């Protein structure tokens, strides 16, 4: 595993990160950026091979030629934990998401969700996870969920958040390792009795069911491809929360769901990302 890092201005770092996010599939296993000092930002990019690192160099060079990427070999088994170790708690409305190190110091009265750094996506720090939690926050101001579906659940954070507010949750994750982590997280958060985790595409489990709240925090192309199934899985009067999108990708996804009769209730921007909250009309 190769870690590539660079320091630059916010504009340079965001240009590089956005360009990497536009590539599907991406040569990067993970991309993160943060403010290291006032007006100084750092980007960290993990590449599985030297060939991928070379592709990343070319992409970043085209998007932000001023950035100088520094390469460092890191143990492949440890890179996720290394990149996320010591992350602070994330607060999103009534929720706070953190590892045990930060959660123990949290006394805000928010709903605590215990998620440790792992290979499974979803610690709350990414703008898409935060946006989905804020979408759930808005939903909970109006009603309590009873049946929730989380497609591409990653760490299970969204299903866990809903389960902590009384829902029965079905969490689907195509990555078997991530699904196993989601199941562990459900136990650690004491919602295992309310949350079922399925490894695989889960199509047969949702084909004849509807849910009053559906999450899909994945990527633009699968969101468009899965639009018929996700709309069908949303009960009339229910809510569908979509994310995993760059702001520039949102119009295509809006078109795919609006054409199926879904009503856009809210857009939640965060950094370069966008979360879309939809309602399915009664009688559909």
Q: Where are the alpha helices (DSSP H) in the chain?
A: 10-22, 50-63, 79-84, 100-103, 127-140, 157-163, 176-188, 203-206, 220-225, 227-233, 250-258
pLDDT tens sequence across 68-77: 999 988 765 5
Query: Which comes out higher in pLDDT, residue 87 or 144?
Result: 144
Tens of pLDDT along 203-253?
777 777 899 999 999 889 899 999 999 999 999 999 999 998 888 899 999
Mean pLDDT value across residues 12-35 = 83
pTM, entire model: 0.69
Higher pLDDT, 162 or 174: 162
Whether residue 86 has pLDDT greater than 60: no
Helix (H) / strand (E) element for 279: namely: strand 273-280
- What local confidence, expressed as pLDDT, does residue 79 receive? 47
**In which residue ranges of the chain is CATH 3.40.50.150 found?**
120-280
Q: What pLDDT, on a 0 to 100 scale, did the predictor assign at position 200?
A: 84
User: What secondary structure does DSSP assign to 20-36, as a single string?
Assistant: HHH-SS-S-SEEEEEEE
How many Å from the N-terminal Cα to the C-terminal Cα in the chain? 49
Q: What is the CATH number of domain 2-84?
A: 3.30.70.100
Domain with CATH 3.30.70.100 in the chain: 2-84
pLDDT at 118: 55
**Average pLDDT, integer, range 30-36:** 76
Domain covering 120-280 in this structure, CATH number: 3.40.50.150
pLDDT tier for residue 120 given thresholds of 50, 70 and 90: very low
């Amino acid at each position: 595993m190769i870690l590539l890092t660079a320091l630059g201005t916010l504009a340079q770092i965001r240009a590089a990160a956005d360009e990497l996010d536009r590539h599907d599939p991406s040569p990067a296993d993970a991309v993160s950026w943060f403010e290291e000092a006032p007006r100084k930002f750092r980007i960290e990019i993990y590449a599985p091979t030297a060939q991928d690192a070379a592709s990343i160099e070319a992409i970043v060079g085209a998007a932000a030629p001023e950035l100088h990427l520094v390469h460092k070999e890191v143990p492949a088994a440890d890179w996720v934990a290394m990149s996320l170790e010591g992350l602070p708690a994330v607060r999103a409305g009534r929720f706070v998401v953190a590892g045990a190190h930060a959660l123990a110091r949290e006394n805000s009265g928010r709903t605590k969700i215990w998620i440790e750094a792992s290979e499974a996506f979803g610690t709350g720090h990414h703008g898409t996870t935060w946006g989905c939690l804020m979408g759930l926050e808005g939903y909970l101001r109006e009603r309590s969920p009873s049946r929730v579906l989380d497609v591409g659940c990653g760490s299970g954070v969204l299903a866990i958040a809903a389960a902590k507010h009384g829902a029965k949750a079905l969490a689907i994750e195509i990555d078997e390792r991530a699904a196993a982590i989601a199941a562990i997280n459900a136990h650690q958060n004491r919602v295992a009795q309310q949350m079922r985790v399925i490894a695989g595409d889960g199509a047969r489990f949702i084909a004849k069911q509807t849910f009053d709240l559906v999450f899909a925090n994945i990527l633009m192309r699968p969101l468009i491809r899965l639009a018929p199934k996700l709309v069908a899985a949303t009960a009339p009067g229910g809510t569908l929360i979509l994310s995993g999108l760059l702001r520039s990708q949102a119009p295509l996804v809006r078109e795919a769901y609006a054409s199926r009769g879904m009503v856009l209730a809210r857009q939640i921007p965060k950094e370069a990302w966008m979360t879309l909250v939809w309602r399915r009309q009664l009688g559909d």
